[in-house]
Structures are given as structure tokens and as C-alpha cells.
Structure 1
Amino acid sequence: MEMESERDGVDGVYEECYPSWNKHLLPILESLFPQPSKVEILVPACGESEMSLKLYDAGYEHITNIDSSRDVIRKMLKLHVNQPTLLWRVGDITDKLGSKPYYDVVIDKGALDGLTSSEDSYLNKVKNALKLGGKFISLTHFNRRAKALLLEVFSMGFRTTFHDLPEDNPATMMVTERVNFLLPYLLSIHDDKQVQATNPLLYQAISNENAKRQRVLDEMSLSVAEIESGVMGDPNVISIGRSFMVDWTGEAGLKYEVLVLDVKPPRHCFSWDIFFVPKLTSRLLDLSEPERLMICSHAQASRVYVVLLPKCVELLPTNELLRNFDMLFSKLAPQGSEDTVRCTKISEHELLSVLEEEDILEESRHKHMQ
């Protein structure tokens, strides 16, 4: 393994990379793990950083530190002889970080930045070392090389949030969680307005990546469990412009496809409209996401559900159809909103007339431009 050393600063004194870690890292760990004594932490390429000792003093006592330098590990063992659960190991971080998923957290403070080869091998070792629900926290300059590697390796089955580190600009802290579903989760940003102002390159990179992941998700029908896991963001919060397809099993085991569209911010309470559309004649699936949102924008509600009806239930009364979806709507509605939800049935004829009207308007605009 080739790794650039950043251990020695002026006169051989160790220099911390990302000095602001002390300000940002501990609050995040405390929010993720309120019981620190039960957390298993791995710190690859630990160097002589005081980070592990600071975490130990904060209650995170089970920390394994790995470094390729025998001299560094020997020195740290002597310094921390009174902290027996602070473990120090000599090892190549691109070769092996554990034989099975064991760690709750892997903290990379500049390790990826220091590698000059085998970066993908290292990140895959990190991924394999994490338990289900485990977190990888990476403090990095997020340059083009690091960005490509991180977004590729942690694309499927990882839920990721980015935090800006303005004191170490242009650095960022990536917090990604190993989840149960192998899906391309959309990336999120902590305080996105600040990041847009202070780190526009990071903001643009995340926006571009989300656009690619959204295109993949648009072609998938997701289960309710996958939606609840956060693959499309928090389903209990309106996110204007978001749409996704859900597979739902109703009464008698009948399966439905439901298109969910967030079309406008809630005014006083969360509400929804429902379109019941025969599946065989539906044109919505052939439309782009902006076109779907445009057609549904006339709705009065914050969210629109488009239920694609199998032929065998097309003639059922509205109240019988609605009974099939009570549980789905309650799972996706904001907590505490049960008493304020307004449900509106919009007929197939009304929806199709909107589609026809949009086509007529577009044709009229085209003729006018000619």
C-alpha cells in the first residue's frame, strides 16, 4: 500500500488533519449512538491523532486503531496503557479490516486522502467491516477522485448525509449508514442552504448524483418497507417535485401499483387527492416526472396518489376501493395528522379530461409559435 504521510508537522510535532473534527464529530456520534459504551469503533490509519482518546473520554471506550507504522503503534500503546479497551494494531488498511461485519462505526479522518493507490480496495474493506445499521464517517477534501470512489462504493444499500466543514474548507464529512435494502438511496445534505452558499461544488456534485439515482428509482416499483427505510427521503414529509411508485397488496391479496406525487406545500394540514385510473388505459407511466407533476398540479391537496386499477376492480364503488388503501395512506402520512387528513376522490373521467386539455393546450401553443 502506498500512503502519503501527514504525521509529522513542524519539528516532528504531529499535525491533525481536519482540526475541526473535535467540533463536528462528537455531536454526530452522540445523536447516532446515545449509549456510547456499547459502540464498537474502528479508526483506520489512526496515526498519532488524539481523536481516539477524546472519544474514549466521552464514553466511547471500545475503539480499535489501525496503522501501517509499527513505531506509531508502539508509541500509542505506551501512551495509552491506562486505557485497556483502546486497541492498537499494525496493519495495511487496504488489505484487511476484519473478517466479518463487526463495527458499529468506522471513522476515516483523512485516511482516504492519504492513499495514493488501492483506494477502492480500502473502501470495500470498510463496507464489509460494517454491521447492518453501521455508520461510515469520512472526513475528506472530497476532491474529484474521492467523490467518484465514495459515491460509487456506497451507492447501493447505503443512506448518506453530507456535512460541510467550513473551518477546513473545502472539506466535508460524509456520514453513511448500511441499510437493509440494496437500493440507490438519494443523498441528503445537512443544512443544504449553507452548503449551497459555502461549498457550491459539493452541492452541485450531490445534485448531479441525485439526478442519476432518481432516474434509476423512477424505473423501479418499491415496497412500502423500502419507502419507509428512506430510499426516497422521508415519506412523511412533503418534498415538492418528488414522485415514486409503490407496490401495494390490498384485500384478498390483490396487488396494486400506486404512483405517489408531492405537488405543493401543505397549507394548514396534510391532505391528499386520489386518482383511480384503469391500469390498461393509463398514460401516466409513459410521461416524464415533470409532465406527471404538471398534470397533477391542479389538485387541491399536497400529495396525489394515482392508483392503477386492475381490470377486475374497475367497477367497484369508491368506498370499497378506498378501504384497500387506508393502511398505505396512514404509513405515508405525517405523524399526528390522522384527524386533519382530507381525502378527495377524483374520477377517471376528470383525470383523462385534464390529460386531453393539456394536449390541446400544447397543440395550440405549438401552432401559435409557428
Structure 2
Amino acid sequence: MVMSYSMELLPRSVSQDCRLVEYWDGYFRARNGQAIEWLCEWMDLQGFLAMLVPKSKSAAVPILVAGCGNSELSAHMYDAGWHNIINVDFSKVVIAEMLRLHVRSRPHMRWQFMDITRLQFADSSFDMVLDKGSLDVLMGEITEGSLPAISYLSEVKRVLRPGGKYACVTRAQNNVLGLLLETFRQGWLLNVHKILLVSSSSDPQLQPYLVYAIKSSTEDFAPVKCFFGSSPNPCAETQVQLIVETIKKENELRSQGGLIDTSDIFGQLHRGRRTPLKLGGHYPAVVLDAKPDAEPPALRCGVFLVPKSRAHEWLFSSEEGQWQVIETAQAGRLILVTLDSQQTDNMDYIKQELSPFIKPLLPLDCRDSDTIPYMTTNDSLSQRILLEEIESPMTGTIHVEELVLLSEDDSTASRAEEAKPKQYRRLVFRRNPNLIQSEASLIPVKLPSKERDRSKNGADVGRRQSGNRKKHKARDSVLGLRTGYEEVRVDFSYLASEYHAGMISGLSLIAHSFEQWISAKEPIRGMIVGLGAGLLPMFVHNHIPVDIIQVVEVDGVVGDVAKRHFGFVENERMQLHIADGLEVVRAIARNESYLPHSDLLEEDLSLLKLASRKSDVRSEAASLAEGRGGRNESQKLHILIIDADSEDPSTGLSCPPAEFLEEPFLRAAREALVEGGILAINVVSRASSPHITSVALLQKVFEEVYDLEIEEHVNRVLFALPQHRQIERGMEEARVKLERLAAAFAPWENGPSMKEYVKKLKRLK
């Protein structure tokens, strides 16, 4: 097919071809390096950009230019002081061209080949997304479908931080403006500016507009604000009047709290449509119609109730997560409703209150039915309490939350007080609010009996430490705890995080080595980089026959929170060190002293004596250690676990920090391990490239590499062995062997069932 390329700044008729990468590769080759500025130029925009991102902050603010093309806009911004810019485009031709032009003169600016409808960046990565014409191209003609544009704006919302801005330069045709108003309706501040063209080369007949949306911290429906000046162009004035009328109707809708006459809008299913609403003035809701490529629905329509405490989770707060919910529910339409914070387990009351608002949202053929299914999570929230908000210079805001949940079975009890509460404590970092860092199961302890049982699996994280017993009693009453319970303790045999359970199960890979070390009376050393609430270290301490456990955490505030709220303890076997895990592992690889506790001497012996009290499994190792009478020079590790999250979302990695998956560290990690040792790394990324790269590097450095997928395409645990594993009959035998060793050391009550995890282990090398 022969293509010709118009010299217009932007084709007034955008065809389907304009969405194809082949079109744009050919287009940019035809330009032969000549820059093209669609809609407007730098001179027309620089005042707006200075308003959106003040010059005083410009150098550090991360900015994404989506669909950059070969425009000179980014270069002008860089020269004006905006240095932290990432430009993306799905044309490899133009990305190669822009790299060649700018890599030396503007070294801090990045250029990446990427599809803007599937951005490979983590949530909350940018303070601003800048779009000059890209949305117009994706939308196409008014009569064409808008799924690519919907996907793109969904990604924009995901990668913006709270307070972040999406700045879109557009012709503001009806379909484009309508999608922008709908997408940024709830929880966004939306402004529309007419761009006054001052550059000589701009087309005066083609009036551009700047629509910018600010990610608000509230869930309100703020009115859209317009800023239009006069224009000598009659066509532009006609367009302004249409825009003003459209925005007037939008603001009427927003003034009613997002409620609209839904009779016609929701009467039929429109595949791929997502509509945020607010029901009854205080129930945030999202109406989802299954995507075009979804399987035929088993359910015509359903309502999914989201407890308020879980509304911040990725599955319910992100658009991608919500699409997963409707896919799992196998529904043609799913109405997600976030419950009020005071709602409990009275499902009949909830249905009665929601019914008048739900009915108009049903397809016409479902509105006379009394059997619309109501679904919810497998737990119903009774109450959520924020125990403490802590500010850390390194991590930012840290929340410690406490929840009491009623199980689905318990919710059918005739009296709420007869239901048994399930109580949890959570650690949440504000920088990543959709991720629960740690979740601990709490066991209530009855007072004042002096004979109460203190299980070896539990540690007191009492409520009395603040001294205000009246306050805590009142809170317990709100939570529905039985009279007399004033303290709780963490059940350290419970691992809420699946990847933690996967890490423990993956130690089956070295079950034979465990036997050899124990038989040879060799003290077993483990290191965990990343503390969180300390739940994984405490599980290893209590249930895995490891003699020396070093926990490395870069933020001392996190260590304090783990001790005060989650019962993390240090003793002769386990120490916490506030240090950089990268440097610690490198020091071990060089056989250098790396921590205050590295020269253990007599502490090494008392440590092993303590281990011997736990079980006969370790008694011989303790005896041998006592007989050495000398110093153990080697600090090399038998087990190295990387369980750290990333504070730089622009890398595409949520866990771990990118440096832990680079070749220099992986080689140091191999050198830091003894023969038969194991490295385990938790890798979380929505993008595919970090997973591919990390696996390739591990295969390059280590002799054996294994993969355990926890959440498809997002979370996996990678295991690496520096030497080939001893031949065994199979992983099932290895698992049984490890379970036998753990049971002899200290069996767990609520710990993971390793069998299912071991089945999923895949050898990659």
C-alpha cells in the first residue's frame, strides 16, 4: 500500500490508519528528521506549563510526554529547566531519531519505545502527563470506537500521583471532550483553556484547547472551569459555544452528585464502557460493561459491594483491577459499590438502601427481576481504626491500621455479637496506598487472668502501652470485641502475604542442604533484606531451623513501628540492622565485617545454645559450636531473602529496588552464599520487561533458577542457586523433607500449606 503524507499540522480527518504503528513509522521516515508541531508550538504553551509546574520545582518533577513524536516541545522544556522528562512513543523509528538528536545535548531526558495504551510504569509514577494531540489521534472520528482512548486515559489516571496533572492539548471535538469529562468526573479538578496562538507558524483556523485535570484527594464532583478569551476566528467562536454548552450540561450533572437520568444511558450493554457515579450522594460506584473480548457472561448483571476499608486496594481502586473483578464475576454488567465506613454485616439493610439507585443502572431486561445477585469479598468489614500515622524522612507517611472482619459464615448469625471477630493489623505506606505492606492476624488476650496462655506463635502488641486504658476500651467496644479483651498478640504462624508463603515453600529447593548442614553441625545463617512489619523474619525465627537471622532495613522508623505495633523482637538468634542491604551483601561477598553483630564470638555460641533449647534438631550443632573454642571467620549466608519495596516507581518495579536485580548485585549475592545456599527475591511489576530482564540475569549468574508465580503477570518469587541442586526424587520429596525438619524444630498452626506452592515451582534453568 502506497501512503502519502499530508503536510498539515494535524489531519482534520483522522483515519483508522493513524492508529497503526506502520503508518507512523512511514510518516516519520517521510519527514526525514523535520520536526512537526501539531496544534500549537512551544511559544503557545510555555505560559501554561509554567503555571502547571512552577519553575522552582521544574528540575525534580517527573513528567511523562505521551506520544511524543518528533516534536521539539520536550527539548524546549528541557532547556527551560524541566529536566526530569520521559518521552514515549510506539514508533521505534521516531524514538531512535530523537535519541540520536538529544542524547548528548540533553543527557537527563529519557526516550522509550512504549504503547501509551499499555504504559510500563508503576502506579503513581509521575506528577504530570503531557499530551499534545495523542488523544485526538486515538479517538479518531466521532463515529469510530474509542476503546484505545479509554485504555490510554485509564493508564494516565493510574500513573499520576495524588495532586498530579494530565495536560491535554486537543481540538476538543465532541467525542474527545465528552470522554475527558466522563473520565475525569469524580475526584478530579478539570479546567478547559482556549490556547491563544502567538507563534507565527500556528494555524489560526485550527483552534486548540488545553484541558488539564488535577488528581484530587477527595471523591467530590467539582465543577468544570472554563477560561476562554475572544477570538477573531468565527469558526473558533462556534466551537467555543458548543464547548460551553457541553460543559454547562456537565456541571448540572456534577451539581447533582453525579446522578443522571439513567433510563436511556444504561438500558443496553455497551461493551467496554466504564462509568463512575455516586449513588444516593455518598456511595461511590462504578458501572462496568464487559469488554468486547470477554467470555460470554454467565451472569447478565450483578452488584459487587466493596467494604470501605478495602476500597484503596488495587483490585478495587484501579481501573485495571476493576476489570479483573468483572471478569472473575463473569458478568455482562457489574456495578461496584463502595460501602459507607459504618456499614456492617446487615446485607438486607444495604440492599434496601441501595435498591432505588441500583435499579436504573440495570439493563432494561433485568429491571423487573428480583434476583439480581449481590456479591462481596469473602469478608465483611465491621470497623477500621487508624492506630497511628507516622512520618518517616525516608519512607514518607506510614499508616498502622486495625480491622475486625466477620467471616461470610458468621455474618448469618442471628445476633451480631455472637459472630466471632477476626482481627487484623496492617502496615500501609502512603507512597503506595494500593499495596498492603504487611497484614498480621491478631489474637485477643483476656485480662486480668494471670494464667492466660501465651502461645509460642504469638507476641503481645498490647493496647495498654499508651497508658490510656479508657480510650482503648472505648475503641474495643466500637470494634465489637468481647468484654475483658484489652490486649492482642500477633499470630506469627500466620502469613497473610502469598509471596511470603511462597518464599518459605521455596526453601524446599535446599531441603537436602538443610539436612547436610544440620548433620555437619554447621550453624545456618539467614539474611532478610527488608523488614516491613517483621512478620516474615518472625516466622523464620519461630519455625525454620536457622541459627543466625540478620534482618537489614534501611529505614529505622520502620523498625520502630515493627517493634511497637507488630511484636517484632531481637534476641541472640535474630538482630535488626539499619543499613543498606546492597552494601551489606557486597561486604559479605568480600568477606568483610559488615554489621555491628558480625563478630559474634561467644554470642555465636549462646545463640546456638538458645537454638538447641527449641529442639533436639539443633542440639548437636550447638555442641560442636561450643567445642570449636575459636572464631567463626566466615559470614557467608545459607539463605538470602530480598523482600524490599521500591521507592522509585518510574522504574516500573514495585518490588524490589531496581539495583537488586542488576548484575553487579546478583554476582555479589552469589559470592555471599555458601555452597548449597539459596537466593529468593520477590519481584512485583505491572510491566513485563523487569520480569524478563531479572530472569535473564539470574540465569546468567546462577546455576539453577526457579520461578513461582504468585499473581499472574504481576508478582513472582524467583529462586536462584549458586550450584546445581543435589539430585532428589522430586520436589514433593524435598517438600516433605523440609516440613519434617520444620516440624521437629517448631511446627506452625496457621502457617502455609507448602504443597500447592511447591507444585507451581517452575525450573527456568
What TM-score results when the alignment is normalised by the length of structure 2?
A: 0.27
The structure 2 residue matched to 1:210, chosen from 227, 233, 251, is 251
1:165-244 equivalences in 2 (<5 Å)? 165-167=195-197, 169-191=206-228, 199-216=240-257, 220=281
Which residue pairs with 1:31 in the alignment? 51
Map of 2:39 onto structure 1:
18
**CA–CA distance in 1 between the matches of 2:81 and 2:101?**
18
2:152 matched residue in structure 1: 122
Structure ranking higher on relative contact order (CA contacts 8 Å, 6+ apart):
1
Distance 2:49 2:65 in 1: 14
Give the % identical residues: 29
For residues 7 and 189 of structure 1, the distance between their equivalents in structure 2, rounded to whole angstroms, comes to 35
**Is the CA contact 1:68–1:91 (under 8 Å) kept in the aligned structure 2?**
yes
Which SS does the other structure have where 1:37 is aligned? coil
Note if contact 1:7-1:14 (Cα within 8 Å) is conserved in structure 2: no
- Give 2:649's aligned residue: none
What SS does structure 2 have at the residue aligned with 1:204? helix
Residue 60 of structure 1 aligns to a residue whose secondary structure is coil
Residues 70 and 98 in structure 2, CA contact (< 8 A), matched pair in contact too: yes
1:202 to partner: Cα distance: 1.4
Q: Which runs of 5+ in 2 are unaligned?
A: 1-18, 141-146, 198-203, 260-279, 283-765
SS at match of 1:23: helix
Deviations 1:65-92 (A, max 9, x none): 0011111111111111221211000011
* 2:162 aligned with 1:141: no
| Aligned: 1:100 with 2:123 | yes
Local SS of the residue matching 2:59: helix
* Residue pair 2:64, 2:128 contacting (<8 A) in 1 also: yes
The question of 1:160 aligning with 2:190 is answered yes
Alpha carbon RMSD of aligned pairs, Å? 2.8
Distance 1:163 1:220, change over 3 A: same
What does the per-residue CA deviation read over 1:87-125, in whole Å, with 9 as the maximum and x for residues that have no partner?
000011111251211101100000111125511000000
Measured in 2, the distance between the counterparts of 1:114 and 1:143 equals 12
The equivalent of 1:112 in structure 2 is 135
- Opposite residue 218 of structure 2, the aligned amino acid is F
How big is the shift at 1:190?
1.8
Given that 2:29 and 2:93 are in contact with CA atoms closer than 8 Å, whether structure 1 keeps it comes out as no
Task: Give the structure 2 partner of residue 131 of structure 1.
Answer: 161
State the secondary structure of the residue aligned to 1:38: coil
Residue identity matched to 2:69: G
Q: Aligned with 2:217: secondary structure?
A: coil
Structure 1 residue 33: Cα displacement:
2.5
After superposition, the C-alpha distances for 1:243-264 in whole angstroms (9 at most, x for unaligned) are: xxxxxxxxxxxxxxxxxxxxxx
Mind listing any 5+ residue stretches in structure 1 that lack a counterpart? 222-370
CA-CA distance at 1:214 after TM superposition: 1.1
Q: Quick one: which amino acid aligns to residue 138 of structure 1?
A: C
Once the 2 structures are TM-superposed, how far is the Cα of residue 198 of structure 1 from its aligned partner? 7.0
Distance 1:97 1:134 in 2: 18
Q: Distance in 2 between matches of 1:198 and 1:77?
A: 38
1:285-300 equivalences under 5 Å are none
Structure 1 residue identity aligned to 2:118? D
Q: Deviations over 1:270-300 (max 9, x none)?
A: xxxxxxxxxxxxxxxxxxxxxxxxxxxxxxx
> Would the alpha carbon gap of residues 76 and 11 (structure 1) be closer, same or farther in structure 2, given more than 3 Å must change?
closer
TM-superposed CA distance for 1:9, in Å, is 10
Q: 1:7 to 1:43 in 2, by over 3 A?
A: farther
Who is 1:234 aligned against? none
Detail structure 1 runs of 4+ shifted over 3 Å in the superposition.
1-14, 166-170, 191-198, 217-221
Distance in 2 (alpha carbons) for counterparts of 1:102 and 1:65: 14
Q: What is the CA–CA distance in structure 1 between the aligned matches of 2:30 and 2:97, rounded to whole Å?
A: 19
Three-state SS of the structure 2 residue aligned to 1:148 is: helix
